[in-house]
């Protein structure tokens, strides 16, 4: 089971300036976090979101390198 969508890092990586944003298909932000240990549980303001495809954008610095990763995933229950 994958109850949360989040970015995973190698334990030896030094992660700084982290941000993760999840968007619905209309480009509205449904989740934002600056904590690399926090993931999205498929809700917004405590309300379950629609089963659908969501987009994500993660930005962070690892060992002095700026990284930006974007993609999509499907929310299923």
pLDDT, tens digit, 9 for 90 and up, residues 44-65: 999 999 999 999 999 999 989 9
Task: Identify which of 42, 18, 39, 13 has the alpha carbon closest to the alpha carbon of residue 30.
Answer: 42
The pTM of the full predicted model, rounded to 2 decimals, is 0.91
- For residues 68 and 61, the answer to whether their CB atoms sit within 8 Å is no
> pLDDT at position 22, please?
98
C-alpha distances out from residue 47 to 8, 13, 40, 62, 69, Å? 25, 34, 12, 33, 27
Mean residue pLDDT across the chain: 93
> pLDDT at position 11, please?
75
Q: What is the pLDDT of residues 7-18, one digit of tens each?
A: 988 777 788 999
- For residues 77 and 36, the answer to whether their CB atoms sit within 8 Å is no
- For residues 31 and 24, the answer to whether their CB atoms sit within 8 Å is no
């Amino acid at each position: 089971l994958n109850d949360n969508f989040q970015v995973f890092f190698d334990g030896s990586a030094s992660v700084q300036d982290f941000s993760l944003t999840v968007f619905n298909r209309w480009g509205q932000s449904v989740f934002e976090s600056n904590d690399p240990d926090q993931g999205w549980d498929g809700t917004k303001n405590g309300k379950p979101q629609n089963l659908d495809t969501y987009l994500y954008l993660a930005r962070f610095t690892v060992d002095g390198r700026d990284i930006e990763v974007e993609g999509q995933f499907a929310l299923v229950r």
